[in-house]
Amino acid sequence: MPVEPPSSAWLFPPADSADDHGVVGVGADLDPGTLLTAYRSGLFPMPVREDGAVAWWSPDPRGVLRPADVRVSRSLRRSQRRYEVRVDTAFDEVLEACADPKRPRRWIDARMVAAYTELHRLGWAHSVEAWDDEGLAGGLYGVGLGGLFAGESMFHQRTDASKVALLGLVDLLGTSGPRLVDVQWSTPHLAGLGATELQRDVYLAMLPTLTSATGPDWAAAAN
């Protein structure tokens, strides 16, 4: 079972008070209690300035992926056979790959790495990985809160590896009960897999049911 950290010392503004860019506020810290409070409130962190100031985001609309809506092409089905999906066997390596400074629009700095490493230690942050004969081929990481998986970032070293990891996540979540993958902003890449968008008020209304639902057994999936 995940370990509940001390409560956050910060009080966030309501998620529906975000500005036109989706920013609710700037500042606070990245302690485990602060991060969990944010996700449970419909927010997520992302640095916005070179000095490392962290903004808390609640975009409208919100990119989401419902497990029941996932679309798998014939070519992606073939790719699935090339990879083995594992859970939480290489969290540090996935996080490091997602934070690679050579990646365009890189936003995962050392503080974010430390924060999610600690969330993983406490049992809240997880990685889903695609492996082949050459090793770790791709993966993703995020935060599991009941039936909600708040996706943070993904990477691939070989064709379709991150997509296969995402399909592995969807399989793990299943479709029995409230289930949703929060992808923050939808992209053509994710839309091709079935991602769509929800208005902010709809997403926020769903959150209590999602986060209080019984989620997947992450510990069992990692064995």
**CATH assignment at residue 183:** 3.40.630.70
Instruction: Give me the number of domains the chain comprises.
Output: 2
Last residue of a domain, one of 6, 33, 57: 57
Domain-located, residue 191:
yes
What type of residue sits at position 218? W
- Domain shared by 162 and 131, yes or no: yes
- What pTM value is reported for the model? 0.95
Q: How many residues does the chain have?
A: 223
- Domain shared by 30 and 124, yes or no: no
User: Containing domain of residue 202, as a range?
Assistant: 62-221
What type of residue sits at position 32? P
Give mean pLDDT in consecutive 10-residue pieces for the chain, a chain of 223 residues.
94 96 95 98 87 89 96 94 97 96 81 96 98 98 98 96 97 94 93 96 98 95 86
Ordered DSSP codes for 92-123: HHHHHHHT-TTSTT----HHHHHHHHHHHHTT
CA–CA distance, 100 with 98 (Å, rounded to integer)? 6
Domain-located, residue 19:
yes
Last residue of a domain, one of 5, 38, 57: 57
- Domain shared by 46 and 72, yes or no: no
Quick one: which of 141, 197, 132 has its CA closest to 169? 141
- Domain shared by 48 and 139, yes or no: no
Token pair 């924060």 in the structure block, residue: 115
Domain-located, residue 1:
no
Last residue of a domain, one of 23, 40, 57: 57
Domain-located, residue 149:
yes
